[in-house]
Amino acid sequence: MRSKSIPFLSPYDQLRSRLGDYLTLCKPRLLGMVVLSAMMGYYLPGVTSDPTKIFHLILGTLLIGGGAHVLNQWFEREQDARMRRTCQRPIPTGRVSEEEAILLGATLSIVGFSYLLAFTGWLTALLGAATHLTYLLLYTPLKQKNSCQHLGWCHNRGPASIDGLECSNRCFRVGSTPNLCGTLSVADATFFCHRLDVSGRIP
């Protein structure tokens, strides 16, 4: 009986594989949509483009958003292991340990918040942190309990209903907050609060 051979990976290949798993945990395609949303918010006030501010906004958003996605998969590790679509993700397969994932997610989140605070202002950092916590503490657990699981995170979908409760455009929508982060990175608080109406929408 022939035994299965275990492929040998060089240190370089092991490092590349591990970094690839880290990148997968950050959900790069979804993260790209978040960054694009923040960029749209940056140009909303009609300001002149500043490459330095854009760089800080993008990098800070990538860091805190990536941290949120890693922690989201840590929270959902047991559900992911039971689903065919997600069972091959890094945490369910053991390619990344639970401890390693939570450490990575927490580190990215803290560094991302600190970076936004240092280079884009406290309002942008505060909104980024609020979005981060809402995504993890509201969106992640609630989507397991209702069919309208993308309400709020994928915004601009129009009114929706959860268990007969109508949710209109006046609802707080997590997916809209990257736009606001982009706007706050270039517009001061006085300008922004003056433009907001009571429902949280920009006229």
Could you tell me how far CA 153 lies from the centroid of its own chain?
9
Domain annotation covers residue 171: yes
Tally of structural domains, the chain: 1
Domain annotation covers residue 98: yes
pTM of the model: 0.72
Domain annotation covers residue 5: no
Domain annotation covers residue 55: yes
Domain annotation covers residue 91: yes
Q: Look at residue 44 in the predicted model and tell me its pLDDT.
A: 74
Domain annotation covers residue 108: yes
CATH number at residue 67: 1.10.357.140
Question: Residue 51 is inside which H or E element, if any?
Answer: helix 51-75
Residue with tokens 């993008």: 58
Residue 31 lies in domain: 17-195
Which of 200, 198, 53, 80 lies closest to 130 in space, CA to CA?
200
Cα gap 96→55, rounded to integer Å: 30
The b/e string for 135-167 (b: 16+ C-beta within 10 A; e otherwise) is: bbeebbeebeeeeeeebbbebeeeeeeeeeeeb
Contact 41, 178 (CB under 8 A): yes
Contact 157, 174 (CB under 8 A): no
Cα gap 187→199, rounded to integer Å: 19
Each residue's pLDDT, cut to its tens digit, for the chain (203 residues) gives 444 444 667 888 888 999 999 999 999 998 998 888 888 877 776 767 788 988 998 999 999 999 999 999 999 999 999 999 999 999 999 999 999 999 999 999 999 999 999 998 888 899 889 888 988 888 777 776 654 444 443 333 333 333 333 333 333 444 556 666 666 666 554 455 555 444 444 44
Domain annotation covers residue 12: no
Domain annotation covers residue 186: yes
